[in-house]
Chain A
């Protein structure tokens, strides 16, 4: 998986390519831990993301919890497979998907 990181002031945009699964989600988790200080708006661009598994959901959940405290988080260009995963797991209830 490739992650492109763009910071614009207090806005952090992460563009993900490939799959967010058991093997790749620790990478994203590490990146988020290191990058979220002072960020008030976290944007995930999923246009290049093939799919995510429950391991990816865990990372998104902890990111959401943190951003709930310090700002906001949104997801862009979510494909059908990923959207279905959010629907099934109830994540679509609290995630902001645009």
Chain B
């Protein structure tokens, strides 16, 4: 149990580890995929931001310049080319136009443009928005293809406060390139992409870096020193496509744009783009470890609890089995096993409950010296209920039969039935076959209360059913009566009683053992010798049933009882009046019989002394009217049973205290010596008081004179 427990715990831990590893791998894969998405969106935002910032910075710078020029000019008035060029030089811009409210050029740094209209080209027409009074400033990004086709220039327009015309300032990209480090460089220095991402900004022509991350500042001053290959990514440097580039020894996800003669690269090192993956995976690893540990602890606990419950259950089952075993022992102990009742009949029995305890029983007992009661019964139920009812029924049947004065089993069973009906909440009943054998004659009176018919087996080996029935099972109807049946056994005849566990024994194919097989077993000369005894009969039926059933489970209790009547005993009975004449006639009667059986003198003397002691007591003290002396010799006259009965007052001589036989004659009381003699010379003494009679039984072994 313990190793099983251990194995199961190991399984739980193994499963937990498997779940842990799988979950981590899954999360790793998912967050890797997610990292790429995040990298893309991060770089998208970075590029947008960068564009806005660069253009915004230039716009701001141009706006400042435009504002100062606007202040100088005061209103939209024509200015000379010289003035315009002077302002260009002062303000370090590349183009200046003054325009009236219709977009006509009033003055310009480019004399060709004076007098032209902004509405002439679509690009310049965009600035006409300033004439509508809704917007004061308007800017355009760097563009080529204006009136100077080779120049890439950016324009900003600013309306006069009175709304009457506007000025337009322009700056060349090449001009910005030279200004770039001073006006833009600061932007990148502290501009981080996430936590570890960074920007590189380098002059396209010479590759000089104007911005690189603080932590790599000393490593590189030119773009090529960072590991960047400007030739590899020409097509990608549009700010829209991500490419991998090794920078400072790490493979970074990069985007790049060209702006104002500078190459600006946004770079995300692995630490950045896998940052969420690392955070997710580590977080999950910790969280999952805690959850799984709790889970494992809980499961192991539950497992241990279930083991305890299983062990408890097993011990309860064991205890229950032990109690049932004890119940079986008690039940079996209640059944008689002294099969040698006397020399005139012999018995054999067998019982095998289907469960530990059962509802079948047999019983046999002497009602007196000459009457033997025997029975087999089957309670309607097995197991504990059957067993309890069985014990009750057995006790009642025996008590009632023992109390009977008429040896009538029908009368007795009517009483038993009433008793069983009186208190029967479980509505159980019992079928029974009860017989009373008169040993002196072989006469059997019997009652069959709903039980299987027994089989009578003659000494010749012939068999017949005892089909006679007497009434319903016991315990069914309170007023049920039973009819007594009878038969006469000849010496050697036997009655075989059984329960339906025999005839209804089932084999593996579902067939029943049945009546035919049973009677065939008893009548089978090969299996059973003609002179077979009760135990041989029981054994033959048992083995026959076992052979038939083979391996099928036993469904019902199985009980057998065989009673064989051996011989009519040699018995002499005589009754005398309880007067002095009996003291003469009874010893003569006994002596005559003892001489006839060649009883040795000494034994004869002992028996006659005993008789004299008993008779003298009865005649003198009991007040009886008659005395009956019965002599029964055993089968081979090996022993004598002498029963002396009288109808006097109850007196048990065996209860008289023994006299002191060591006293000198002067102190000797007279009395008690007779009982002492009886006790010392007879083999067995028994006293009973039944039906108003004292019955003293004396047994003595006789070894006949040869």
Contacts and interface: CB of A to CB of B under 8 A. Distances in A.
A85 B609 CA distance: 9
Given A81-B602, A88-B677, A89-B676, A19 B665 contact: no
Nearest to A19: B608
B584 interface: yes
B666 A65 contact: yes
Contacts of B584: 23
Nearest to B609: A53
A61 B673 CA distance: 12
A5 interface: no
Contact of A21 (B583, B606, B619, B662): B583
A55 interface: yes
Interface string A16-55: 0001011100000000000000000000000000111111
Given A81-B605, A89-B661, A93-B662, A21 B677 contact: no
Interface string B661-694: 1111110101001101100110000000000000
A98 interface: no
Interface residues of B, number: 29
Contacts of B680: 88
Interface in A74-98: 79-82, 84-85, 88-90, 93-94
* Overall SS of chain B's interface: helix
B479 interface: no
B601 A81 contact: yes
Given A53-B609, A53-B613, A53-B616, A90 B661 contact: yes
Interface size class of A (residues with CB under 8 A): 20 to 34
Interface string B598-642: 000110011011001101100100000000000000000000000
Contact of B612 (A22, A58, A79, A80): A22
Given A22-B615, A23-B580, A54 B665 contact: no
A19 B587 CA distance: 11
B665 A88 contact: no
A7 interface: no
Interface in A51-71: 51-55, 57-58, 61, 64-65, 68
11 contacts: A19-B612, A21-B612, A23-B584, A51-B609, A53-B609, A61-B670, A79-B601, A79-B602, A89-B661, A89-B676, A89-B677
Interface of B: 580, 583-584, 587, 601-602, 605-606, 608-609, 612-613, 615-616, 619, 661-666, 668, 670, 673-674, 676-677, 680-681
Given A22-B615, A53-B616, A89-B676, 14 more contacts: A21-B608, A22-B583, A22-B619, A53-B612, A53-B613, A53-B674, A55-B612, A61-B665, A64-B665, A65-B666, A68-B666, A84-B681, A88-B676, A90-B663
Interface of A: 19, 21-23, 50-55, 57-58, 61, 64-65, 68, 79-82, 84-85, 88-90, 93-94
